[in-house]
Amino acid sequence: MSDQRNHRRKVGTSVELFAGGGGLAQAVHNAGFRPLLVNEFHKRACETLVENHAMRFGKEDIPIPESEDTWWPLYEGDVKDLEFDYLLDEEVDVLAGGPPCQPFSLGGVHKGDEDERNMFPQMFRAMEQMRPKAVICENVRGLLRASFAPYFQYILKAMEAPWVARARYSSWEEHDDALRDALAREPLNSARRYVVDPMPVNAADFGVPQIRHRVIIVAFRADLGVDWESHRPTARYSERALINSIVGGKYWKRHQDVPPEVRERVVASLPKDLPADNLKPWRTLRDALKGIDWHDNGKDVERELPPVPAEYLKPKRHVDDDPTIDPLHFGWPGARKYAGHTPNVLDRPAKTVKAGVHGVPGGESVIELDDPTYDGTGYRYMTVREAARVMTFPDDWKLKGPRGEQMRQLGNAVPVKLGEVFADAVAVALEAAGVEPKERAKKRRARDKG
């Protein structure tokens, strides 16, 4: 993951809702946006945020940070309790958030609008009250399923016309009709209106060492005239390029410690002579554990995670015995492979990191190792630090709570590198449209008067 904190552009301000363990918040911050407010409900996730950049405040005394160095103002509580009007004069540049995805996830009961965890209406309300210049919203690909198609189109219309409030006790279908009528009357360049673009993505296509299918919705205030189409991110990495890199040998130059028999087995399983596509190779789980693409002061470094000895699979044993070992990098017993429960392989991107202690059925956090004799099985569970690497969290980001809670925070997060791609693109699109952050405009006006 690119560590931009030492050379970050200062391009505006942001508000982060449903912050969780801080994946998207880090991404937006790394892109140069200064957080004016961070909100999260879950206790353990808030502990994680406070351990890193955030400071808790009550909803009546949330300050406006005066500088880039100020800690993130965190409101720990229900987003429904917040009013965002006080931010209107601050001219928020980006509102970001991933409303809880369980209502639309295959892993949940997928009740959609009927589920009380559906927080999309709170995003609509925040947009109306603070009128940000841009919005970045991430959610599960399940929103695009045919059964949710009408509701997804309703979400897009509600983001396009956030000033149209949903009447109490009305259905979303009735609100949908009201939105359609209001949009038909509203000028296309209205300052109340947003131009909304949903984009299905696979995080692996953007340099994340993980297959993670999501939908990212980006919106800009219509009066700003932002040319998003010219800056909309496209895939930068591909499976085809990875296969060619493995078969052609370039991949193994950064993994020279892999036994020859393992290399031969991997190469034999892949197709040969695929046409090149001029993209970079997908990053793999082996890359993540090795430290490929991690940076230190702008220079590539190899920060390989230490091995997890089989004798340390008893939970936390070696952490207690050796305080110098990373407390997020310890083993967990019981990993195995069976029908319907296939592990991650090292030379592909990891499976989707999901919320849970070890993962969920399907082997999402089980790794098949090069050493078939490891613990008598050749398998082990991914450590929390390894899962954090797969989510492109920096190694100095601390996660609070027991192991299961740490994994839950990671599974619910936005991969930092994926978020950065979109936050950077939004920043560039705003700059290209001549949209100045409030503080920069104030400095320019003062300079002009002087």
CA 211 to the chain's CA centroid:
13
- Residue 157 in 3-state DSSP? helix
First to last CA, the chain: 42
Q: How far is CA 322 from CA 3, 312, 317, 342, 384, in A?
A: 28, 11, 9, 32, 17
CB 384 within 8 A of CB 409: no
Q: How far apart are CA 306 and CA 1, in angstroms?
A: 18
CA angle 71, 75, 78 (to 5 degrees): 155
Q: From the candidates 36, 49, 62, 101, which is the catalytic residue? A: 101
How many CB atoms sit inside 10 A of residue 176's CB?
19
Q: How far apart are CA 247 and CA 269, in angstroms?
A: 10
Q: How far apart are CA 420 and CA 32, in angstroms?
A: 10
CB 325 within 8 A of CB 312: no
Element spanning 34, H or E? strand 33-40
101 part of the active site? yes
Token pair for 146:
């045919």
347 Cβ contact partners less than 8 Å away, ≥ 6 residues apart: 246, 251, 266, 284, 285, 286
Which phi and psi angles does 103 have, rounded to 5°? -60, -20
Q: How far apart are CA 144 and CA 213, in angstroms?
A: 11
Beta strand residue intervals within 237-290, DSSP E:
237-238, 280-281
Q: How far apart are CA 21 and CA 32, in angstroms?
A: 19
Beta strand residue intervals within 54-162, DSSP E:
54-56, 72-76, 94-97, 134-140
Helices (H), 298-415: 317-321, 384-390, 403-411
Give me the active site residues, please.
101
